Amino acid sequence: MRIDPKVSQKIITLILGIATGITLFILLYIIIFMLGRGIPVLSWKFLSTFPAKMGKAGGILPTIAGTFVLTLVAIIIATPLGVGAAIYLVEYTGERKIIKIIRFGAECLAGIPSIIFGLFGLSLFVVILKMGWSILSGGLTLAFMIIPTIIRTSEEAIKTVPYSYREVSLSLGATKWETVKKVVLPNALPGIVTGIILGVGRSIGETAAVIFTAGSSLRLPTSLFDSVRTMSVHFYILSKEGISEKNAFGTAAVLMILILAINLIAYWIMHRFTRRNV
C-alpha cells in the first residue's frame, strides 16, 4: 500500500512536533519539580546559617561559600589560559600543524568524563603535590575541566570581530599585539565573558570531580588549603544518604536558580553582542 505523500507529510510533521513537545515538557517538568518543592524551603535563615546534624537541620551557608570560592579559583586559573589559547588559535596562524594539534587537544579535553578529571586531580593535586582535599586542588581540577569551554567560546567571539577592524589598526602603524589588545579583545569581550559565565555554570554543577579533590567539609574555609563542600556535593550527600529530603530540595533550588540565571545572562550577552555585529 502506498500512502499519499501529502498524508505522510502530515503524519510525520505531527510525530516530529510531538517529539519536540516531549523534550520541552521534560525540561519544564525538571525545572518545575525542583523549584516547586525547593522554593518553599528557602528562607534567609536557610541561606545564612550553618547546617546542623550533618545537614539534617539548619542552613547551607558554608556550601554557598564553598561553591563561590571554588568556582572563583577555577575561573581565575582558567580564564588567562583559555583566552590566551583562543587568541593564539585565531590571530597567530603561523604554524598550521601546531594549531591542529592544539585544537584536537582542546576538543578531546572537552569530551573527557568528569570522573576522570576527579581521579587525575586526586592523584596529582591531592596526593602527589600534597595539597590534600582543598579549595586549591578542587579549583585546579575544575580549571582543567572548563578550559575547553572558555577556549571554544572565546575563539568564536574573536572570530566575529570584523577583519577590517584589524586592518585599520595595523595600517595606523599598530603592531599585532597592540591590535589584539586594543582592538580585537575589547570587541570580543562580550563573547569572552559569555564563555567565562558558561564555565562558571559548569563549575557550580560539577560533583564527581569536586568530591574527590575538594572534599566535603562543612566548615567555612579560612585558607586555600581548607576543604570545602559545594552545593552540588551537599545536595548529592543529602539525597544519597537520605539525610534530609527537605534540605536537599532547598539546596537544589538554589543550585537550579543559579544555573538558570547564569544561562539566561550568557544568552542575553551573546544575543546583544551578535545583533550588534550583524
The three three-digit cell numbers of residue 52, written as one number: 546542623
Residue 40 found at the interface with other proteins (CB under 8 A): no
Taking the complex as a whole, the smallest distance from the CB of residue 32 to other proteins amounts, in Å, to 11
Footprint on residues 51-110 left by other proteins (CB under 8 A): 80-81, 84-85, 87-89, 92, 94, 98-99, 101-102, 104-109
Choose between 189 and 208: whose C-beta lies nearer to other proteins. Answer: 208
Angle between helices 231-240 and 61-91 (to 10 degrees): 130
Size of the site for other proteins (CB under 8 A): 82
- Interface characters, 247-266, with other proteins (x: CB under 8 A): -x---x--xx--xx-xx---
Nearer to other proteins, 32 or 45 (CB): 32
Interaction residues for other proteins, span 163-202 (CB under 8 A): 175-177, 198, 201-202
The reply on whether position 212 binds other proteins by CB under 8 A is yes
Nearer to other proteins, 44 or 275 (CB): 275
Using the rule CB under 8 A, is 235 a contact of other proteins? yes
Distance CA 220, CA 87 (A): 38
**Residue 33 or 45 with smaller CB distance to other proteins:** 33
Closest to other proteins by CB, 69 or 210:
210
Choose the binding region for other proteins from 12-20, 160-168, 182-190, 218-226 (rule: CB under 8 A).
12-20
Q: With binding defined as CB under 8 A, does residue 220 bind other proteins?
A: no
